[in-house]
């Protein structure tokens, strides 16, 4: 029993950085091993500034079409998928985390343009569009969280007594 406790203690000490001698020995051994192409990592890409992230976000949503699918959630069950399309004419930062998205919204027999105030939060370099109880003309009040990444989007939404999931691809209108 005493021997097992010593082995466990030694293992934890080595695993979680106990002692400079143990770490130095590990580093020396690691440095002496030849690296093959599969284990080499690319140099770290410089982190984009907030201004660069916001400029990329604006460019990726200006004259953009979100085309994808949505499904309802009712009583904890997913409903059938339906297609939808949102065309964003422009997006502008209006201050702090607040942005104004001018969007043409098309679903079912509805087709309208609406200025939609949203909050944009950042998960690292990934923007998350947040709506909190925003009134949309002719459609009621909605809340949503939509993540935008690499020409795709995915999120969840609710409109009071109904809600669901959405996802799709983003294309930019060519000039």
The per-residue pLDDT for range 57-81, each reduced to its tens digit, is 999 999 999 999 999 999 899 999 9
- Inside any domain, residue 107: yes
Is residue 38 included in any domain, yes or no? no
Model pLDDT, residue 61? 93
Regarding whether 93 and 9 lie in a shared domain, the answer is no
- The reply to whether 120 falls in a domain is yes
CA 110/CA 88 separation, integer angstroms: 16
We report the CATH number of the domain holding residue 73 as 2.40.128
Q: pLDDT value at position 17? A: 38
Q: Distance of alpha carbon 14 from its chain centroid, rounded?
A: 36
95 with 22, same domain: the answer is: no
Dist CA 134 CA 143 (whole Å): 6
pLDDT in tens, 118-156: 999 999 999 999 999 887 666 678 899 999 999 999 999
pLDDT at position 38: 57
Same-domain pairing of 17 and 56: no
* Non-local CB neighbours of 142 within 8 Å, separated by 6+ positions: 131, 133, 134, 136, 157, 158, 159
How much is the pLDDT for 59? 92
Q: What is the mean pLDDT of residues 76-91?
A: 92
- Residue 15's pLDDT is what? 33
56 found inside a domain: yes
Task: For 24-54, give one letter per residue: b (16+ CB within 10 A) or e.
Answer: eeeeeeeeeeeeeeeeeeeeeeeeeeeeebb
Report pLDDT for 104.
87
Residues 56 and 13 in one domain: no
| pLDDT for position 37 | 56
Same domain, 82 and 123: yes
What is residue 152's predicted lDDT score, i.e. its pLDDT?
Answer: 96
Domain that holds residue 14: 2-32
Confirm whether 18 is domain-assigned.
yes
Indicate if 134 and 80 belong to the same structural domain: yes
Q: Do 63 and 15 sit in the same domain of this protein?
A: no
> Between 46 and 115, whose confidence is greater?
115
What pLDDT, in 10s, does the model give residues 5-62?
Answer: 333 333 333 333 334 444 444 444 445 555 555 556 667 777 889 999 999 999 999 9
Q: How many separate domains does the chain show?
A: 2
Residues 133 and 143: beta-carbon distance below 8 Å: yes
Domain presence at residue 109 = yes
Is there a domain that residue 76 lies in? Answer: yes
Report yes or no on 45 lying in a domain: no
**Are residues 147 and 84 part of one domain?**
yes
Q: What are phi and psi of 36, to 5 degrees?
A: -90, 170
Provide the H-helix boundaries in the chain: 2-15, 20-32, 50-61
Do 11 and 74 belong to one domain?
A: no
């Amino acid at each position: 029993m005493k021997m097992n406790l010593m082995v466990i203690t030694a293992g934890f000490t080595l695993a979680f950085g106990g002692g400079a001698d143990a770490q130095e020995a590990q580093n020396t051994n690691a440095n002496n091993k030849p690296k093959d192409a599969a284990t080499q990592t690319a140099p770290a890409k410089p982190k984009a500034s907030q201004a660069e992230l916001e400029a990329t976000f604006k460019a990726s949503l200006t004259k953009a079409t979100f085309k994808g699918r949505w499904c309802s959630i009712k009583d904890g069950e997913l409903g059938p998928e339906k297609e939808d399309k949102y065309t964003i004419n422009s997006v502008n930062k209006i201050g702090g985390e607040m942005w104004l998205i001018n969007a043409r919204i098309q679903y079912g027999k509805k087709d309208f343009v609406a200025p939609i105030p949203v909050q944009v939060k950042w998960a690292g370099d990934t923007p998350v569009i947040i709506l909190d109880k925003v009134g949309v003309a002719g459609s009621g009040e909605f809340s949503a969280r939509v993540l935008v990444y690499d020409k795709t989007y995915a999120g969840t939404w609710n409109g009071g007594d109904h809600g669901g999931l959405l996802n799709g691809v983003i294309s930019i209108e060519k000039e």
